[in-house]
Chain A
């Protein structure tokens, strides 16, 4: 929950992580993989724990997520999104698999395993733009709005769980979330 002081330093850091994934893809670089693991595995575990996974399976899924990063590295395209976003989608899919106790339909793997299609320059720009606008939008929300967006992102039983966690009436949570989402939408604009 500690945002870096300078947004440009975060972009630089993320660039580095993208470079590490590219290195894994290009030459099975184990040092690059270790650096990715050290950074992301503990964060993926936190995300999974916050989403309701017991500590043991959160750890197991976090390790599987990073294993998948190794195996799927050649599908990562830095132009389509940040390293964090790509790793988030892998963790999310593994988590859905685990929840459904059966193979996640490949069709719903949402482009993860698909070869990257040729990209016009404007699409490439849009992805980078999207990443930075999303981060800016989160920063510009009021603390209350950012809190409901975070909680609605993490919790399975969104509204009721948020209401009890924040000790607010359900209606207040719903209207706050709606306001926050509307604000996010207008800040994200046409992407």
Chain B
């Protein structure tokens, strides 16, 4: 099944110029790991950054800038590529995923807390980052047909489907799809009936849970 939902240009641009906050950047990186077209778009924006570097007027550096950097090069030669590539990845604490599924590459370097049960058939885990401006990251797991908590947001919500599918009033979303839901988009996602679904979701600002789930919000780690 081809990927049908992609991030808008503006979001890819903010990812490419490094101004997208950390939590949404992880969700966009996850989408990029599925989507060659958006990777090319991202590389074009990086090339745009390169062209900006070409055209910007140079600033004056302190007089000893070059000599102090040259002094730091002593005994600091370029390491042979093979040594650097062999750098080991520290194993992280991460909860189990459905059989046969791995954590997507952008999340492999994070400790991820254990699952918390939210509603029947729905569990999630929340990652926090330094500084509120980084946003919040949730990984949500639903069994087939599960109804996720109905909610709205103060800021934009970025969702990428890792496995399975879900639907809301605006469409059906499958593996690799990235959905950007703006402030006015109140929705109740429902997991597809054929398979369990795992999504990674970043929220700028606050999530507003509706109904019963709202009472549980203080206990859900968000």
* A contact residues vs B (CB 8 Å cutoff): 1-3, 10, 14, 24-25, 28, 30, 33-34, 37-38, 40-47, 49-51, 58-59, 62-63, 66-67, 70-75, 81-89, 91-93, 95-96, 100-102, 105-108, 110, 113, 115, 126-127, 130-131, 133-135, 138, 149-150, 152-156, 158, 177, 181-182, 184-185, 188, 191
- Contacts A24-B78, A33-B73: A153 and B65 contacting too (C-beta < 8 A)? no
Quick one: given A1-B56, A191-B40, are A96 and B18 in contact (CB under 8 Å)?
A: yes
Task: Count chain B CB atoms within 10 A of each CB in A3, A72, A75, A96 and give the residue with the most.
Answer: A96
Contact A34 B70 (CB under 8 A): yes
B46 and A85 contact, CB distance less than 8 A: yes
B73 touches A10 (CB 8 A): no
20 pairs from A and B in contact (CB 8 Å cutoff):
A2-B57, A28-B73, A40-B53, A41-B61, A46-B59, A51-B17, A84-B50, A88-B50, A100-B130, A105-B26, A105-B109, A105-B110, A115-B81, A131-B50, A134-B48, A153-B52, A156-B19, A181-B13, A182-B9, A191-B40
CA distance A87 to B54 in the complex (A): 11
What's the Cα separation between A73 and B80 when bound, in Å?
10
Bound Cα distance from A117 to B215, whole angstroms = 50
Q: What is the CA–CA distance of A41 and B69 in the complex, to the nearest angstrom? A: 11
Q: Give bound CA distance, A156 to B46, whole Å.
A: 16
Are the CB atoms of A63 and B47 closer together than 8 Å? Answer: no
* Distance in angstroms between the alpha carbons of A130 and B41 in the assembled complex: 10
B109 contacts A107, CB within 8 Å?
yes
- Enumerate chain B interface residues (CB-CB to A < 8 A): 9-10, 13-14, 16-19, 22, 25-26, 29, 40-41, 43-44, 46-62, 65-66, 68-70, 72-73, 76-81, 84-85, 87, 89, 105-110, 129-131, 134
**Option from B13, B18, B72, B109 in Cβ contact (under 8 Å) with A93:** B18
Q: Are A84 and B54 in contact (CB under 8 A)?
A: yes
Residues of A within 8 A of B58 (CB): 42-43, 45-46
Write out the residue numbers on chain A whose beta carbons fall within 8 Å of the beta carbon of B77. 28
Q: How far is the CB of A71 from chain B (nearest CB, A)?
A: 6
| A-B pairs, 4 with minimum CB distance | A85-B50, A42-B58, A84-B50, A88-B49
Most buried by A among B9, B50, B70, B79: B50
In the assembly, what is the distance between CA of A83 and CA of B73, in Å?
Answer: 20
Task: Contact check, A153 vs B50: say whether CB atoms are below 8 A apart.
Answer: no
- Bound CA span A140–B65, Å: 37
Q: A34-B66, A130-B43 are in contact. List 12 more A-B contacts (CB 8 A).
A: A1-B55, A14-B54, A28-B77, A51-B17, A75-B84, A89-B49, A93-B18, A108-B25, A130-B47, A134-B48, A134-B50, A177-B10
State whether B44 touches A95 (Cβ < 8 A): no
Task: Judge whether B50 and A108 touch: CB under 8 Å.
Answer: no
Among B55, B70, B107, contact of A30 (Cβ-Cβ < 8 Å): B70
> Given A101-B130, A108-B25, are A59 and B65 also a contact pair (CB < 8 Å)?
yes
For A51, list chain B residues within 8 Å (CB).
Answer: 17, 19
Docked-complex contact B106 and A86, CB < 8 angstroms: no
User: Which residues on the B side are within 8 Å of A70 (C-beta)?
Assistant: 73, 76, 78
Q: Which of B40, B51, B55, B73 has the most chain A CB atoms inside 10 A of its CB?
A: B51
